[in-house]
Every structure is written in C-alpha cells, then in structure tokens.
Structure 1
Amino acid sequence: MAFVLSLLMALVLVSYGPGRSLSCDLSQNHLLVGSQNLRLLGKMRRISPRFCLQDRKDFAFPQEMVEGGQLQEAQAISVLHEMLQQSFNLFHTERASAAWDTTLLEQFRTGLHQQLDHLDACLGQVTGEEDSALGRTGPTLAVKRYFQGIRVYLQEKEYSDCAWETVRLEIMRTFSLSASLQERLR
C-alpha cells in the first residue's frame, strides 16, 4: 500500500511541474480529479488484500506499449481515454454496484466521466476525423485486451469480494502507471 501511496504522491507532484510538451493541455482540474479518483479507489477497500493472496494475478498491463515517450500525442490521448473508458465500464455494472459502497462508487464514476469528457475534447483537437482508427490499433488495442483479461478474471472468480479487491488494486496501479502519459499531456 505504501508503494501505491508513493505513486499517488508522485502523480500529484508531477501535476504541478512546469513543463508542457504537447498541444493538448490537461487542465489542473483534470489532474486533480485523477488524484481524487485514486483516493476514492483507496477508500473503496472493503477487505484486506492479505485475505486475498490466493486471488492475486498479474494482469500484464502493457506498460511498454503505453510508455509516454514512445507514443505520439494522439496515441497518448487515445490510450488514456481507453484506460478511463474501460475503467468506467468495469465499475458501471450491476455487479460492481453490488460490490462497493454506492456513494464512493458514484463519486468515482463521476470523476471518471469528467476526465473522459475532457479527453474527448482533447482527442478531437489533435486527431480530427481522419484518425478514428486509433482505438483499433497498437497501444489502445493492448489496453482493451488488458481490460478484457480483467473482465474474464472477474467472471472466473464469480465476482467474489477478493476478485473485486484484486481488481481495485490493479486499477489503482494502472492509474498510477499512467502518470507519465498525463505528464506529457500537461
């Protein structure tokens, strides 16, 4: 948990840095909502991960595919958008509603929706109509496959409390790993 908190702090600190490298600037509000989403995920914990050690899984987040320095601006925005959209979809199911505190879950969904709205505008700025295939290629497709693996895992574990706890921790890790992409878009 200390590792996740240190990554969260790094994300917050990075969001206050001076550099801007791409034309689509993520607003300070976007970054703050992202930090709030991480905190909400932390608060959503219902059981200790120690009780779920048998359910741990390496979901193989495609980090090398989504590293910030390797992606063009439109790809980076598309990857971030896909991560947020897939997370929103995952936590916007009837099974998720049954697994989590509804107030925290709704706040989390609202935060994801706010970030998605901003990235929609950003994606439109940098891609236009000609790059509608971004979601079907390369890094964005790798993110879709990653989330498909998470959905399959939940089904295999019959949406148990430990399965949801494992997924909650994985999404926190995924959001933390996306910090380099968000930094590029500031």
Structure 2
Amino acid sequence: KAMPANPQSQGMYSILLLLLLLPALTTAFSCNHLRHQDANFSWKSLQLLQHMAPPPPQPCPQQDVTFPFPETLLERMDKKQAAIITLRILQHLLSILSSPNTPTHWIDHAHHSLLNQIHHYIHHLEQCLADQDTRSQRRGPHNSHLSIKRYFRHIHNFLQHNNYSACAWDHVRLQARDCFRHVDTLIQQMKS
C-alpha cells in the first residue's frame, strides 16, 4: 500500500509544478494579450494620428513627394517574420514621431497617446518574440531589414532637407498613416 503523502510534500510538488509551468503561462499570456491588442491597434493608431496631426495652418505647396514602401514586405510570410517586420516598422515609426522637431500645431495629448500606444505594442511584440525563443531569428531576413531601414532613412532625410517644416511633417503624417495600414496587413498575417 502506498503511504499517503504528507501535506508538506504535496505543497512542495505544487510549487515545483507551478515553477515548471510558469514560463509556458507567461509565453501564452504575452502572446494572447498581443492578439487582443491586434484587433484595434491599427485603427486606434490611425484615429490618434488623425487627431494628433491636423493639416498645417498654412496650405502646403504641392510637392511630388513619394516614399515608395517596399511592398515585398507585405507578401505572404510566416507569423514570426510578419511579427519581426511589424516590430521593425513600428520601431522606426516611433523614432521619427518621437523627434523633438515635431510641428507646434500638433496636439500634445494625442501625440503622446500615440507614442505610448506604439511603444506598448512594440514592448509586447518584443516580449512575444523573446518568449517564443526566436532570438536567432529576431532580426528577420536581412533584405527586409535593409528595405525598412532605407525607407525610413528617406523619410528622415526628407525632414532634414526641409528643415522639419510643418509641410514636411504633413507628408510624414501621410506616410505614417500608410505604415499603420501596412502594419494592419502584417497583423492579419500574424493571426492566420
């Protein structure tokens, strides 16, 4: 006959079991929490962007400014690659929108809310990627990383070349709007 376990050893087994399950629970929680945020992230970001950045007070001269987004980044890929590309886009977008040279007519509260939302989503993406032990794959395909970097370098150079004018920022606002739409496409790929 097996001897009944004493309450102390049962408690110890429960603690050991919890410690073994904790990493799995943390991973599931962070990625599941991310999925709940996915549904509204792009829409909320677009709303904040629209509220944050009204058109400049003076009409802008018509400029033929194009920043061709590397469309190959939106082609069908696995969930991890989509998450990595989303992360890189948002990191660059956060960097540009965090510039101390943003126009004075932007609404501070909405601007800070947008920056906080982007930062929060970046944090959860990084956590999800780290929890899934994709450390070696976190950089993503080298070509996509360079394409993203080149795209945002063009935007940054445009701002510098135009002395961070309100009109230059208005073009950047339009690019940010497109970026959130691209991020939404990538989020849909992460869900499928």
Instruction: Name the TM tier (shorter chain).
Output: 0.7 to 0.9
Alignment partner of 1:57: what SS?
coil
Q: If you compute each CA radius of gyration, which structure gives the higher value, 1 or 2?
A: 2
Tell me the residue number matched to 2:177: 172
Alignment partner of 2:59: what SS?
helix
Alignment partner of 1:96: what SS?
coil
The 3 A distance-change label for structure 1 pair 29 and 178 is: closer
Tell me the residue number matched to 1:112: 118
1:180 & 1:159 partners in 2: Cα distance? 29
2:184 & 2:39 partners in 1: Cα distance? 10
Tell me the residue number matched to 2:78: 72
Runs of 4+ in 1 over 3 A off after TM superposition: none
Shift of 1:134: 2.5
The 3 A distance-change label for structure 1 pair 133 and 45 is: closer
For the pair 1:29 / 2:37, whether they are aligned, the reply is yes
Alignment partner of 2:102: what SS?
helix
The 3 A distance-change label for structure 1 pair 97 and 52 is: closer
Shift of 1:129: 2.6
1:53 & 1:72 partners in 2: Cα distance? 42
Tell me the residue number matched to 1:86: 92
The 3 A distance-change label for structure 1 pair 73 and 100 is: same
2:136 & 2:178 partners in 1: Cα distance? 33
Asked whether the equivalents of residues 53 and 105 of structure 2 are also in contact (C-alpha less than 8 Å), the reply is: no
Shift of 1:47: 2.0
Tell me the residue number matched to 2:23: none
Tell me the residue number matched to 2:49: 41
For the pair 1:57 / 2:57, whether they are aligned, the reply is no
Identity %: 25
Alignment partner of 2:101: what SS?
helix
TM-score (norm 1): 0.76
Letter in 2 for 1:101: I
Q: Considering Cα pairs closer than 8 Å and 6+ residues apart, tell me whether 1 or 2 has the greater RCO.
A: 1
| 5+ long unaligned stretches in structure 2 | 1-30
1:99 & 1:179 partners in 2: Cα distance? 27
